[in-house]
Amino acid sequence: MKIIALKMPLLALLVIAMLSCEKDDDNGPDNEQELITTISLKFTGGGQTVTFTAEDKDGDGGAAPVIQAITLKANTDYTLSVSFLDASKTPTEDITTEVKAESNDHLVCYVATGPMGAPQIQDTDAGGKPLGLESKFKTGAAGAGSFKVTLKHEADKGNANACSTGETDAEATFNVTIQ
């Protein structure tokens, strides 16, 4: 009888210790956000192909990004291809590959002001919803404006204003001259 009486408090302590330990609910490693140091815009139209970049080599904070000004021809049809890169690695890692592979989780958003037309997205994700790596647009008359490119993660593509949802993975605003 004494042996059972001595074991009961020890058993109670063991149960309390097991219950007080935190349970690890992780189902695996987190899907870490990639570092995107460069947004590259390739415009094809009017008999030319030109590329403009926004680079932020140290990521958020630190030095200001270097954003090239965009110069395009007036009243011209263009196709636009966007790519996202991590130039902090050697060789440079093309994050666009991951964006395509996880297309349901990504959306490229555009805001154009001035004579640059709003791009019409041409590519879709696996569910048939917009992705935004490829688009078309037409420039207007000569003038100046801006062009903001935003890569959204887990945007609600069913929302009427999908670009206001989700998290921003990368964003840059380019000055634009149409001549």
| pLDDT score of 33 | 66
| pLDDT score of 80 | 98
For residue 115, count CB atoms less than 10 angstroms from its CB and return exposed for 0-12, middle for 13-18, buried for 19 or more.
Answer: buried
Per-residue pLDDT of the chain (179 residues; tens, 9 = 90+): 455 544 444 444 444 444 444 444 444 444 456 799 999 999 999 999 999 999 998 877 788 999 999 999 999 999 999 999 999 989 999 999 999 999 999 999 999 999 988 899 999 999 999 999 999 999 999 999 999 999 999 999 999 999 999 999 999 999 999 99
| pLDDT score of 151 | 98
Q: Are 177 and 55 in contact (CB under 8 A)?
A: no
Question: Does the pTM exceed 0.75?
Answer: yes
What is the rounded distance in angstroms from the CA atom of residue 121 to the CA atom of residue 109? 9
DSSP-based three-state secondary structure for 143: strand
The HSE-up count of residue 98 (CA atoms within 13 Å, CB side) is 15
- Rounded to a whole number of angstroms, the CA Rg of the chain reads 25
Question: Which alpha helices (H) appear in the chain, and where do they start and end?
Answer: 2-20, 96-101
